[in-house]
Amino acid sequence: MIVLDKTNKVFTLHTQNTTYQMKADQYNVLLHTYYGPRISGGDLSYLIQYADRGASPNPSEAGHRRDYSLDTLPQEYSTCGVGDFRLPSIEFEPEDGSCLADLRYVDYELRKGKYSLEGLPAFWGGSEWETLVLRMEDISTQMQVELYYGVLDRYDLITRAVRVTNLGTERVRLRRCASLCLDFQDNGDYDFITFDGCHALERNLNRAPLRPGVQSVESVRGTSSHHHNPFVILCDHSAGEDHGLCYGAALVYSGNFLAAVERTQLEHNRLLLGINPYHFCWTLAPGESFTSPEAALVCSPSGFGQMSRQFHRAIRDNLIHDPLRGRRRPVLINNWEATEFTFSAEKLVDIAASAAPLGIELFVMDDGWFGKRDDDCGGLGDWYVNEEKLPGGLEALVPRIRALGMQFGIWIEPEMISEDSDLYRAHPDWALGAPGRPRTRGRSQLTLDFSRKEVRDRVYADIRKVLDSAEISYVKWDMNRSLTDVWSAALPASRQGEVFHRYILGVYELLDQMRRDYPHILIEGCTGGGGRFDAGMLYYTPQIWCSDNTDAVDRLRIQYGTSFCYPISTMGAHASAVPNGQTGRSVSMETRGVVAMTGTFGYEMDLNETSQEEKEVIKRQVAFFKEHYDLIQNGDYYRLTDPFQNGPFTAWEQVSPDRREALVSLVTGTVHASAPFHTLRLKGLDPALTYQVNGGDTYPGDVLMNAGWPLPIILDDYQPMQLYLSAVQ
């Protein structure tokens, strides 16, 4: 609900559990007055205090009033060069070379429904949303800045985006444009939580108290990256899963980003989130506009768990476009770890034939099926079937797979090109690279310039021929390197600072076109695993390969960190063969299955090389997953332990929305002699209901949550356990 006080120019956004407020003051500076647990409202600007602070200058309108400074006031969208020395939200450079931005409130617009962003992913919805637009202007340059706010009451979700328009008569270069600026004027003892790592070890939770100065995470790799995720949390120092105030902020964007927090001279805090200003410079001719990516905010007065569940619900219901919405996604098997590049049509059919009797429903053919692709040094860009491997093409292969009762999926990497390819030989300038410089390879490949329409059109035309040649129901869209040599032959020198962003816009355009042309196809995103696991990609790809690391023990941490923002239903997760290719570790098929079904669920192995006993385990796992699909994929998610604490076990729980069902999953750690007894307290149950556990004894919900469930001593490392709870009628 959006409440307007037109007389005092106060704008209040209420959600179910939170309140957000800003006010335009006597000088039309837009001040941030409050964001936190829901309150009744009123003008909260009384909380702002004024004092003369040394080295904090005063705007012209304030005259000789030395207690009024942009450097000390909580601003809704921070300026630059005119007295606020903290992190700037925006920076633009007119023809005279000055870099000053002095924004003042002009007017507002209130709309029913959710705003949309042309060419960019964003949360969507109907009448359950409200939109507020606040217009600001820099009078000297006639640059207009519109702040967009979307309010989704039931999920405590507030979205923000910015549109900058040049209303003047001269060109202006936009050098920085954050999507979110959030000032906290209290002296909160906050921690900054980020999700960091590297390829095959993504989204490790890192928590540190704020210190004076700037703390930040960012990506300049052209992707949101394996190394830092565009989702961060600010929270009370004492906040935990079930208590404490926390603020989650996610950028709905897949390219270079910056998330920064500044602890100021007055011990106030400013959070900034948006496109990374590194090598960013967007030229706006008179009348032209630039739109920032969307940022999404959830404030939880009740700890991380409630924040995560609100993000999960909003992403599932109001961000992703799932072609199977309301239906179960198929359990799949992928051939990559079984064969890599070396396979034949007979080998693929053989793997599918071993999977079908176990209840697996989708066969995915991975890298190596196209062009001259026998290793990672060639073939990318030549999107036609290699008929030496697959005689007769997909027209011959796919009916054989479907005759087994299975659907068929395919791997592609549209953004990349190999130097050993027909496409590169014909169009070497289509790869990113500056003239006169040698190009940098990643995974022995170059990157196509997706900022160019002719490049996108050619690649998509070739891929369409493949998709039209057979009955394909799934596409895995991969991208296996970071961007280097970012220079486009299609843009003049003065506009090379646009290439990073135009590249991502091109990726989005092609994904959106594929989604519209093939509405039945489920697209899974992948960027060398989890290198682009962000809310922007989820708009186009309802699931993303969570990590190239399929080791079940490492996945406990990867999936734990991912769950703080992103739903279980978005995490691509497979049980793979052992010893694991990334770690050399061997754990049981039972353990691998329990971990993988905390995701989209599938297998990555040659089932012909498994024992009959393992096949029976797989068959039971697949049947169990199908039976409890809605609970696992759409239930409320509870983290019961933290795997980074290296405790005796890692446990998590899914609870149905009506709280009549729950599934508790657990994997033990390393075993030690004379192990103590442990009791696991459950969460999210209805205290008034009685639950039957694994078809046996019954226990009241309040007992299971407060007294807990006694865990047996398990004498082996990394062993699984699951408890299925159902309410007794």
For the chain, the distance separating the N- and C-terminal CA atoms, rounded to the nearest angstrom, is 38
Residue of 130, 366, 534, 551 marked catalytic: 534
Q: What is d(CA 272, CA 539) in angstroms, rounded to the nearest whole number?
A: 23
Question: How would you class 384 by CB atoms within 10 Å of its CB: exposed for 0-12, middle for 13-18, buried for 19 or more?
Answer: middle
* 68-75: Cβ within 8 A, 24+ apart: 68/27, 70/29, 72/266, 73/29, 73/31, 73/48, 74/31, 74/32, 74/33, 74/48, 74/183, 74/184, 74/185, 74/268, 75/29, 75/30, 75/31, 75/32, 75/181, 75/183
Q: Is 590 a catalytic residue?
A: no
d(CA 441, CA 483): 10
The DSSP output letter for 228 is B
- Residue 179 structure tokens: 């999507």
Tokens of 42: 């009123």
Contact predicate 160/315, CB 8 Å: no
Residue 52: C-alpha distances to residues 27, 58, 65, 74, 183 (Å): 18, 10, 9, 15, 20
Please check whether residue 202 is in contact with residue 533, taking contact to mean a CB–CB distance below 8 angstroms. yes
User: Residue 338: which H helix or E strand, with range?
Assistant: helix 336-339
Question: Distance (Å, rounded) from C-alpha 112 to C-alpha 127?
Answer: 6
| Angstrom distances, CA of residue 317 to CA of 310, 321, 326, 400 | 11, 9, 11, 36
Cα–Cα distances in angstroms (integers) from residue 687 to residues 303, 692, 707, 711, in the given order: 20, 14, 12, 21
| Residue-wise DSSP of 533-571 | -SHHHHTT-SEEE--S---HHHHHHHHHHHTTTS-GGGE
Look up residue 387 and give its DSSP letter: T
- Based on the residue annotation, tell me whether 614 is a catalytic residue of this protein: yes
Burial of 395 (0-12, 13-18, 19+ CB in 10 A): exposed
| C-beta separation of 280 from 497 below 8 A | yes
The rounded distance, in Å, linking the Cα atoms of 47 and 185 is: 8
- Which tokens hold the place of 203? 């989204």
Residue 257 contacts residue 239 (beta carbons within 8 Å): no
Beta strand 522-525 with 543-545 is parallel
Please tell me which residue in 614, 642, 686, 717 is annotated as part of the active site: 614
Instruction: Output the CA–CA distances (angstroms, integers) from residue 159 to 152, 569, 600, in the order listed.
Output: 8, 22, 27
> Whats the size of the chain, residue-wise?
729
Asked if residue 579 has a cis previous peptide bond (ω within 30° of 0), the answer is yes
| Residues belonging to the active site | 534, 614
